[in-house]
């Protein structure tokens, strides 16, 4: 993700961010403030604390901006989503590119959480999350089983995620996810090596 960009022209000055929800621009035009998301501009009629067009603007912007559950702060966007691991990794077990921070529950260590489809997810997407009481298996999207890797291992693999673990997975190409994990004390979990399903 690129750093925020500052800009100015004859009619406006602004700061612009590239986020997972698109380009977001905050600025002033004449004596009005605006927020623009993917070239759709909304003017803010009150600069104190208002909900305008479904977007919550924090009083000082110091706490960030929350739009449809996506928090934009310091040039980083993230969305917290709860997911329950399932027997097949579908429905509540299927992650999307919008799942920027996931809270995973699992009824058993063999239940599955599936990553988003590689070809439909922007390279550089990072999904972070945590699993508490019961571990689960992490797999690529079912359509990617024969071609997409986790930690350079491919063809129908799964990675066992222990209980009380925080994970980070990053899509580094359309065909490869990198998975790292730490325990609830912040210690790196020894290298997670996916194995056969």
* 23-41 pLDDT tens trace: 888 888 877 788 888 778 8
> What's residue 78's pLDDT?
63
Q: Pick from 28, 25, 23: which is nearest to 12 by CA?
A: 28
Whole-structure pTM value = 0.62
> What's residue 27's pLDDT?
85
Is the model's pLDDT at 183 over the cut of 50? Answer: yes
Is the model's pLDDT at 191 over the cut of 90? Answer: no
Secondary structure (DSSP) of 138-160: EE--GGGTTT-EETTB-SSEEEE
Predicted confidence (pLDDT) per residue in 71-115, tens digit: 555 555 567 788 999 999 999 999 876 667 899 999 999 999 999
Predicted confidence (pLDDT) per residue in 106-165, tens digit: 999 999 999 998 888 888 888 899 998 899 999 999 999 999 999 999 888 999 999 999
Question: Could you tell me what percent of the chain has a pLDDT over 70?
Answer: 79
Give me the chain's average pLDDT, please. Answer: 81
- The band of 69, judged by pLDDT with boundaries at 50, 70 and 90, is low
Mean pLDDT, range 58-64, rounded to an integer? 45
Which contacts qualify for 99-103: CB closer than 8 Å, 24 or more apart? 99/127, 99/129, 100/20, 100/70, 100/126, 100/127, 100/128, 101/127, 101/128, 101/129, 102/127, 102/128, 102/129, 102/130, 103/129, 103/130
Q: Report which of residues 190 and 145 the model is more confident about.
A: 145
Mean pLDDT, range 61-74, rounded to an integer? 55
Is the model's pLDDT at 68 over the cut of 60? Answer: no
Q: Are 57 and 49 in contact (CB under 8 A)?
A: yes
> What's residue 49's pLDDT?
40
> What's residue 1's pLDDT?
56
């Amino acid at each position: 993700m690129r750093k925020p960009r500052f800009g100015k022209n004859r009619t406006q000055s602004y700061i612009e961010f590239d986020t997972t929800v698109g380009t977001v621009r905050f600025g002033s035009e004449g004596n009005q403030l605006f927020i623009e998301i993917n070239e759709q501009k909304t003017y803010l009629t009150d600069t104190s604390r208002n909900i305008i067009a479904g977007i919550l603007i924090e009083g000082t912007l110091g706490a960030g901006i929350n739009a449809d559950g996506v928090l934009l702060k310091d040039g980083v966007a993230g969305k917290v989503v709860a997911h329950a691991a399932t027997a097949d990794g579908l429905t509540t077990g299927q992650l999307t590119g919008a799942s920027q921070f996931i809270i995973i529950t699992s009824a058993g260590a063999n239940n599955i959480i599936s990553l988003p489809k590689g070809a439909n997810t922007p390279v550089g997407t990072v999904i972070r999350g945590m699993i508490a009481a019961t571990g689960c298996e992490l797999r690529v999207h079912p359509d990617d089983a024969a071609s997409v890797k986790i930690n350079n291992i491919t063809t129908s693999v799964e990675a066992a995620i222990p209980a009380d673990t925080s994970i980070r997975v990053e899509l580094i190409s359309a065909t490869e996810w990198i998975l790292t994990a730490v325990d609830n004390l912040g210690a790196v979990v020894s290298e997670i090596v996916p194995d056969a399903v």
